[in-house]
Amino acid sequence: MARKTKRKKKTKRKLARPQLPMQRQLNLRDEETHFDLRPIFERLNQRYFRGRLRGYRVVWGRRRKHRPRDHFVFGTIQEEDRVIRINWALNRPFVPLWFLQYVLYHEMLHSVVPDEVLSPGRRRVHTQEFNRREREFPSYRRARRWEEENLSRFLR
């Protein structure tokens, strides 16, 4: 699970089909959604972080045409912009809620556990402290096992 540093603004890409009015776009997106990220985030925030994560947006990443070949990024966090982005491929009925919760918890943990600076320009984000706290998550072991057993479903 990679953590991204701040990204540059992307250039706008042209829409292949005519743009729908905003309301219809939102409705369309709701229909396609299996999990609602916001309440899941809020519950985790209260339960494990005492509501410490403030001003975060939690969004699905953009859809990709092809599954990746050998590397799958479940989620990312951009702390500067306060955006947690979850891979849209997790928005599927076969994904257990506790796995999605684990993915979110992992990204949220990055916002409270400091990185270690190894040398100028080199940081460790999954520090011992991070790993220790990650293992405290109740479904950690189950989630890691599920990840191992199901990774191929997310790859090409």
Question: Which residues of this protein are in contact with Zn ion, per CB under 5 A?
Answer: 1, 3
- Residue closer to Zn ion by CB (options 32, 114) is 114
Least Å distance, CB 2 to Zn ion, is 7
CA–CA separation, 132 and 128 (whole Å):
6
Least Å distance, CB 126 to Zn ion, is 6
Least Å distance, CB 47 to Zn ion, is 20
CA–CA separation, 87 and 84 (whole Å):
10
- Residue closer to Zn ion by CB (options 88, 134) is 134
- Residue closer to Zn ion by CB (options 3, 14) is 3
State the sign of the Cα–Cα–Cα–Cα dihedral 41, 43, 48, 52: positive
Least Å distance, CB 1 to Zn ion, is 4
- Residue closer to Zn ion by CB (options 84, 95) is 84
Three-class SS state of 57: strand
The four Cα atoms 91, 95, 96, 99 give a dihedral, to 10 degrees, of: -80
